[in-house]
Amino acid sequence: METLLKAVRKLGLAQKFVVQHAYLHHLRRLLRRQKNELE
């Protein structure tokens, strides 16, 4: 049972990491688009 909880926790951390990575990527694209519009 304890191993199951650990696995679930690991999955949660991995999911959070992926979401943060995607969010940062999205922000970077938005910033680049704004730069292009300013030029």
Going residue by residue through the chain (39 aa), what tens digit of pLDDT does each one get? Answer: 789 999 999 999 999 999 999 999 999 999 999 999 988
Best CA proximity match to 21, nearest among 10, 31, 13, 32: 13
Euclidean distance between CA atoms 23 and 36, whole angstroms: 20
Euclidean distance between CA atoms 31 and 12, whole angstroms: 29
DSSP type of residue 39: -
Give the start-to-end residue ranges of the domains of the chain: 1-39
Whole-model pTM: value is 0.61
Euclidean distance between CA atoms 10 and 25, whole angstroms: 23
Helix (H) or strand (E) holding 1: none
